[in-house]
Amino acid sequence: MKWSVVSTLFFLFPIAIANAKSTEYPVTVDNCGSPLTIEKRPSAAVFHDINMTEMAFALGLEDSMVGVTGITGWYKMSPSFEKALGDIPELAPKYPSLETLIAAKTDFFFAGWNYGMKVGGEVTPETLKPYGIDTLVLSESCIHTNKLEQGASMALLYDDIKKLGVIFDKQDEAAALVEAWQAKMKTVTSQSNAENNAPKVFLFDSGEDKPFTAGKFAMPSAMIKAAGGENVTDDMETSWARTSWEHVATENPDVIILLDYQTASGADSLKTFLEQHPLMKHTNAVKDGRYVKLRYEQLTPGPANIQAIEKLAQAFYPQ
């Protein structure tokens, strides 16, 4: 069955995609509340950041990619990621410039606000459109341009994978991935729901004066909930932002997630800092040594979220 949608029907996306088998172009998907129409299957795509690139790999889009951006400037590639990347070049180690994307003859860019693009910056969907570059915005990042009522959920990942499946005519592959992920999440959730006293969880990304962490609209909040925990910074009406040590210590987390950028300092330096902090050293998590190390791609929307949630559930409920 073929699926074709015009802009006036883009709101039907979640229903239409569920029954689709292949894509008929032009096709329209929701893009942070606005319609994005793709005239033909992209053949020169650029994916920003390791998490979004892993979405591309999961769907087998390597042949449609001319490059990636925003990886080595922040952290090291894992051997498995580097192998999957193969000959696909990294066009920019951090944020790409408009010139870089045009020079690569890009026809599709998958990025997000604060994931390769900045609101009002040089590279945005509006600045790229005149050069024939369609931009899909990472759903988790829509909070920076849209007022959202619901916090983060696993649907952020599922919906982005489905949209990529529609755009690249990989709907069967996308549906299979989501079905497998949902089955795993059902198992984890059923096990964690059987336990009592959900542990309080704090994610420590970076920062000494004020910790950088995940708020209500960031993927880790959804992941912590799926694993049976409670994010102590879920009251922050944002995605990724800074809070105070006083607030975190008052919440007294039982478990602390350490974001491991796989750099020289890494997660171990975060652990050492917490153990010496005048407030945090008295929290349950630090006193009991309950830490979970997770990599960047495991905590930002992408396929690695699923295994990370399983790891969190085991840490929350070791028995």
Give dist(CA 306, CA 188) in Å, integer: 10
The CATH class given to the 194-316 domain equals alpha beta
Q: Assign residue 224 a region: left if phi > 0, alpha if psi is -120 to 50, beta otherwise?
A: alpha
State the DSSP code for 79.
H
State the DSSP code for 309.
H
Domain 2-178 annotated CATH 3.40.50.1980: yes
Closest CA to 5 of 31, 26, 32: 26
Give dist(CA 186, CA 296) in Å, integer: 24
Q: What is the dihedral of CA 95, 108, 178, 217, to 10 degrees?
A: 40
| Token representation of residue 292 | 């979970």
In contact, 285 and 40? CB cutoff 8 Å: no
Long-range residue pairs from 173-178, CB within 8 A, at least 24 positions apart, any chain: 173/59, 173/60, 174/59, 175/18, 177/58, 177/59, 177/303
- Of 68-77, 201-210, 273-282, the range with the lowest mean pLDDT is 68-77
Q: Check: pTM over 0.85? Answer yes or no.
A: yes
Predicted confidence (pLDDT) at residue 7 exceeds the cutoff of 50: no
Backbone angles phi, psi at 283, to 5 degrees: -75, 155
Closest CA to 110 of 135, 88, 132: 135
Closest CA to 53 of 83, 21, 98: 83
Q: Is 231 helix (H, G, I), strand (E, B) or coil?
A: strand
Percent above pLDDT 90 for the chain: 84
Residue 264 confidence (pLDDT): 57
Higher pLDDT, 318 or 48: 48
In contact, 133 and 36? CB cutoff 8 Å: no
Residue 6 confidence (pLDDT): 37
What's the pLDDT tens digit per position in 206-219?
999 999 999 999 99
- Indicate the pairing of strand 34-38 with strand 200-204: unpaired
| Token representation of residue 175 | 């549906």
Helix (H) or strand (E) holding 48: strand 45-48
* Residue 249 burial (CB count, 10 A): 19
Bond from prior residue into 26 cis (ω within 30 degrees of 0):
yes
Higher pLDDT, 10 or 62: 62
* Residue range(s) of every CATH 3.40.50.1980 domain in the chain: 2-178, 194-316
Predicted confidence (pLDDT) at residue 28 exceeds the cutoff of 70: yes
* Residue written as token pair 């999957």: 84
* Residue 138 burial (CB count, 10 A): 27
Residue 150 confidence (pLDDT): 86
Residue 5 confidence (pLDDT): 38
* Residue written as token pair 């969190």: 312
